Structure 1
């Protein structure tokens, strides 16, 4: 077992999570919310542990499926535990088990919640809660593949361990380029939904958080009645994008390179749309 590369990747995960929390810190600053200190504390903890782990680069950067599965499991545990800290430290979800449940539900895009009054949370924590959906929707390790220089078949082994499906295929010869293409499609679809919701009269904060929740297909909302209080137009947009985000992104890539027939011939796409 190549432990050095496993800890190296975990260090990167912690540093990435610190970066992912920064937009929520900005939201706290904009809305002048005191709860923002809990996010800052979590960021500092991530960097305190993560930076030392990545300063010393491992000599052997090749790892196989065994290391891939171990890394994936450990990364999700670390990601969820640290991601729950802002809820606990702020006091809005004081029970660590409940906070962990909420965070795991977000990162895994399950969408289950222990909260009975979502609107009681400050804007910064609502944003972080929805952002966990967006991060988990594509997979944080897929994002990591675009950053970490690994050798041999390591990228593919990590991607296989991260992906829930029975098989993983490259869109282009390099797995790193495949990860970049997937994330570009993911980001563009999210931005399009935000603008369409804004066009329907939805406030900016609501548009962003609901789009993040839609992208992950988990459905975290920021209102106690979910999206029932919004206009029919906004409800339709969210429904359509929930369907679009559920389609295999390989199909979108095939459409972009004008291989429409090949995209339609995908059994997964046809079965999904038929259902």
Structure 2
């Protein structure tokens, strides 16, 4: 494994990150002169940009790899360390602007706040430690949301091109189906796939921004909420999230684009090429639609017919229940995390459905988090095959998806992924409970960060935040965001002694 190649590539990544910081820097300059916003935020972005650029240049030009060929081992390290480095340097604007400084708060505690917020942004989780979002400057609000969008750009290519080539992720079944030229070399394929999928990503982002701008949003808010939607992140510029606007039009637009963001981007590419039928031919997409529609119907029925824990029926109108059920089901399923209502005030069945959807997540090849619809689909099909095998013990019963036989190693991967996911979920829940959280909050914050959702249950619900979490707990949950975003194996493999052997 070439460590020089790894750090050389990380240097290139940091140079790109420094370039993206120029946008919020420009916004900070504009609002400093036009609206008198704090100059501390302006200088924070100057310092962060300069430091990030300098470190990137040092890594790029002082570490020159002997072999520029990118291998699988280097790929794992670059993907995992890349997210860690980007989140670290992406936290500098918060740190230099003293966004989380408070009397009696130690430097380590302050850093835990900054790194949590940054990792939440770049991993498109959307969990926040901010208590007053609307007190932030425009530059900081933009950077929070923009970090989502940048993370989403990385995830699109990561999910459809990089992880399948490394043999990881829900898309490895379709590694030959990603758009772009077919080649055995990793780098050319990634470059071609990136251009195609980023084109789709940017096109949808522009379209959503324009549609939201036509509503009750300013252009700035429309842009920030588009960043959060297309990346399935969920950071808002308002304390009340989408509920702040109380607009059916805005909720409808965001719901539609959350649905698209939770769909395999390779399907969007094919649709734009004229093959719209590819959506309906795709088994995972059909399964995704069934899960969403059935959940909406159940939650709508439950919230208009049954009482919550306070003995009240949440909605007295079927239309209102359908409106909020649709938005929240899409928000949780796609792991966006926007809120149009406080679902903790819903009946127990509705809350249970939403928690279940937190595990499901979006489709493979989307910006959504969670376990992915494809894995649940394969698990259900495999379970059905095992039941049939009990009746017909000598029958050959292959599992098929999209008229293709699923290789046994993929099914093994799915079972292993479920084992690791549930095991880590249980361990982290126990750790968070040990740090003083009640069991519901501990489980809620664990699945909300591992699934890259954002809001959980209990004291980290849709109207709460993560500021009260113990410092150690913040670092644990930050690691959970990374694990969930990189499909577990990409991170866990770095802890294997065999990985580091020649």
Partner of residue 153, structure 1: none
Matches within 5 A, 1:233-248: 233-248=249-264
Answer yes or no: is the 8 Å Cα contact 1:213–1:220 preserved in 2. Answer: yes
Residues 42-71 of structure 1 deviation map (CA, whole Å, 9 limit, x = unaligned):
110111111122236534111321111111
Instruction: Tell me what 1:255 maps to.
Output: 271
Distance 2:125 2:286 in 1: 24
Matched, 1:200 2:215: yes
Tell me what 2:67 maps to.
Answer: 60
Q: 1:120-139, CA deviations, whole angstroms, 9 ceiling, x for partnerless residues?
A: 11110110000111111131
Residue pair 1:12, 1:50 contacting (<8 A) in 2 also: yes
Corresponding residue for 1:23?
A: 23
Aligned twin of 2:100: 93
Correspondent of 1:47 among 50, 53, 57: 53
How many angstroms apart in 1 are the aligned matches of 2:16 and 2:155?
A: 9
Q: Is 2:264 the partner of 1:272?
A: no
1-structure distance, mates of 2:238, 2:73: 42
Alignment partner of 1:139 is 2:154: yes
CA contact (8 A) 1:5 1:58 kept: yes
- Tell me if the contact between 2:153 and 2:231 (Cα under 8 Å) persists in the aligned partners: yes
Q: Is the 8 A contact 2:163 2:169 kept in 1?
A: no
Deviation at 1:216, TM superposition (A): 1.0
Q: Is 1:36–2:42 an aligned residue pair?
A: yes
Q: Which residue does the alignment assign to 1:117? A: 132
Where do 1:72-83 residues align within 5 Å?
Answer: 72-83=79-90
- What is the aligned length? 263
Whose radius of gyration is greater, 1 or 2?
Answer: 2
How far apart are residue 161 of structure 1 and its match? 5.2
Task: Determine the structure 2 residue equivalent to 1:179.
Answer: 194
Q: CA deviation at 1:273?
A: 2.1
Give the aligned partner of residue 240 of structure 2: 225
Counterpart contact for 2:24–2:140, Cα < 8 Å: yes
| CA–CA separation in structure 2 for the residues paired with 1:26 and 1:18 | 13
Unaligned runs of 5+ in 1: 144-155
**Corresponding residue number in structure 2 for 1:165:** 170
Query: CA shift at 1:246, angstroms?
Result: 1.0
* Equivalent position of 1:129 in the other structure: 144
Report what 1:13 is aligned to: 13
1:130–1:213: 8 Å Cα contact kept in structure 2? yes
Query: Matches of 1:259 and 1:127 in 2, distance apart?
Result: 36
Structure 1 CA distance, aligned partners of 2:5 and 2:266? 29
Residues 236, 262 of structure 1: alpha-carbon distance in 2 compared, 3 angstrom cutoff: closer
Aligned equivalents of 1:162, 1:193: Cα separation in 2: 33
User: How far did residue 163 of structure 1 move?
Assistant: 7.2
The answer to whether the 8 Å contact 1:142/1:162 transfers is no
- Aligned-residue RMSD, C-alpha: 2.1
Change (3 A) 1:207 1:141: closer
Shift of residue 200, structure 1, vs aligned partner: 1.4
